[in-house]
Amino acid sequence: MDFNEEFELLLRSRYPAIYIQTAEEERVEEAISAIAAKLGNRAVYIWDFVDGYQGNANDAGFGRRNPLQALEFVEKLPISAAAILVLRDFNRFLEDISISRKLRNLFRVLLSQPKNLVIVAPEIAIPTELSEAITILEFPLPTSDQIKAELERLLGAIGKILTGTNIDELVRSCQGLSIERIRRVLAKAIANHGELRSEDVELILAEKRQKIRQTQILDFYPAKEDISDIGGLDNLKDWLLRRGGAFSEQARIYGLPHPRGLLLVGIQGTGKSLTAKAIAHHWHLPLLRLDVGRLFGGLVGESESRTRQMIQLAEALAPCVLWIDEIDKAFSGLGGKGDAGTANRVFGTFITWLAEKTSPVFVVATANDIQALPPEMLRKGRFDEIFFVGLPSQAERRSIFTVHLSRLRPHNLKNYDIERLAYETPDFSGAEIEQTIIEAMHIGFSQNRDFSTDDILEAASQLVPLARTAQEQIRFLQDWAASGKARLASRQSSLNNSMGAFQYDP
């Protein structure tokens, strides 16, 4: 049942007070007026604290700066007159004893009259004594059809058209924004170059960043990395590329469900976080980064509330990528946290959402220590796939060196013996390879010359790779992946040939 159907049913059922949480006053009032007209031209009266009642010349200004008088207005109306009284921001007055008592008196009267009070406010705040009589109704953000209609209206006003693919991309990018924000950002695009273009997606993403800045739970992470910036991991990249259009309207028509997400498990520095950024950039989706520590607050119930707020915000900004880095550290040792079960409740809410969510929020979680993850996290249905990201093979190291050196020395790439570099760095992770190049640049810069292959090899000889300092953890992860509990991210598996580091002389 959508908002219109549910709101109409509540009116006909004579629910005395309906609380609609939304910041879109204009759009919700348009919807209320349309439903009132459908029900036989019910009168709609709109009140706010500054201007009082509006829209009716006989009552203009009644109840101005007087919320109690705004409620008394109900008694001025004929008993048989059908009416809807919209009270803007009335949540701010509900704690007042006189307002609370007046409302409770009115509730008994309104049960026998075709009148309804409708509180419209951006947040929910209902005192306990009023909770039984007030019904909360969610007013959803505009649907893709509504956004498309708004885009076509704006395009029609300037005499422009867009192809189906381009307008679908704009519609998808606008999802999660209010109509007012959509109008504002599209007006900015039209003012900039006189029309709407597919590249205006970046302006829309900037508007989403602005919305996220207003919270302190999620961060909007600028993602500039591309799939091509990932060296190796061919199986993972193929899996992602096949799902590049899975958030489109064509995918819905085809019957495809929204992709749920990935759990990337593996050794530190092997490109898991880079992959999360590349996914968002390649799919043209906003990247939201969740620091799970921010979910936990000091007040009773605050952590659970923040978790629900995080979920609501992510779904409001969908389609998007939700990146949770090192999730193993956030939910390790749940049973012994000594926090009266708060961590368990937060975890329960989170994994239930992972399993049941239908919104296009693609969750990318990374973990280094699979033993620290609760078994519930690994159950099928939480993520589309679990990938193991191991140490790169020689071919993948060659690819990683090529990516970094192409970015740093694109015109001198031929001066570097990439084959030798890949061969001489067994069991180096991608992060360690990058660090050897940075160290080689320091060597060259200090001697007032460009860095060379020998500089990189010298830097590599001085770096002790993680494969030697965390042998047991890496061996456990490789055995776990080899047992078939995760899909290998690399086409050329490094499980069998990445143990060379364990044979070095100490």
pLDDT of residue 87: 97
CB atoms within 10 A of CB 439: 17
What is the per-residue DSSP string for 163-191? -HHHHHHHHHHHTTS-HHHHHHHHHHHHH
pLDDT of residue 415: 92
CB atoms within 10 A of CB 480: 15
Pick the CATH number of 394-426+430-464 from 1.10.8.60, 3.40.50.150, 3.40.630.10, 3.30.1330.100: 1.10.8.60
Structure-token pair, residue 264: 């990337």
What is the residue whose two structure tokens read 């030798």?
420
| Cα(488)–Cα(505) distance, integer angstroms | 30
Spell out the residues 6+ positions from residue 182 whose beta carbon is closer than 8 angstroms to its own: 142, 147, 150, 174, 204
| Cα(472)–Cα(493) distance, integer angstroms | 19
pLDDT of residue 250: 85
> How many CA atoms, within 13 angstroms, populate the side-chain half-sphere of residue 237?
15
| Cα(148)–Cα(378) distance, integer angstroms | 38
Are 277 and 223 spatial neighbours (Cβ–Cβ below 8 Å)? yes
Are 306 and 257 spatial neighbours (Cβ–Cβ below 8 Å)? no
pLDDT of residue 500: 43
* Whether the domain at 3-138 and the domain at 394-426+430-464 fall into the same CATH topology: no
Structure-token pair, residue 360: 């296009």
Question: Mean pLDDT for each 10-residue chunk of the chain (506 residues)?
Answer: 91 94 91 94 93 82 94 92 95 95 94 94 88 89 86 79 71 82 85 76 78 76 82 88 84 88 88 89 87 69 76 82 86 58 82 88 90 82 89 91 92 93 92 94 95 94 87 85 86 52 34
E strand map for 268-360: 287-290, 320-324
Are 163 and 171 spatial neighbours (Cβ–Cβ below 8 Å)? no
Angle between helices 201-212 and 179-193 (to 10 degrees): 140
pLDDT of residue 501: 39
Rg (CA), the chain: 29
Q: Which H or E run contains 365? A: strand 361-367
pTM for the structure as a whole = 0.67
Is CATH 3.10.20.740 what the domain over 3-138 is classified as, yes or no?
no
Structure-token pair, residue 68: 């109690």
Spell out the residues 6+ positions from residue 243 whose beta carbon is closer than 8 angstroms to its own: 259
| Cα(384)–Cα(357) distance, integer angstroms | 12
Burial label for 253, CB within 10 Å (0-12, 13-18, 19+), is: exposed
| Cα(388)–Cα(365) distance, integer angstroms | 12
| Cα(225)–Cα(318) distance, integer angstroms | 20
pLDDT of residue 503: 35
Structure-token pair, residue 482: 């080899």
CB atoms within 10 A of CB 294: 15
Domain assignments of the chain as residue spans, ordered by start: 3-138, 144-214, 227-389, 394-426+430-464
Angle between helices 430-446 and 453-462 (to 10 degrees): 120
Structure-token pair, residue 288: 């939201």
| Cα(201)–Cα(407) distance, integer angstroms | 26
E strand map for 62-150: 83-88, 115-121, 134-138
pLDDT of residue 504: 32
Structure-token pair, residue 397: 């190291």
Residue 472, SS3?
Answer: helix
Fold of 227-389: Rossmann fold (3.40.50)
Are 119 and 18 spatial neighbours (Cβ–Cβ below 8 Å)? yes
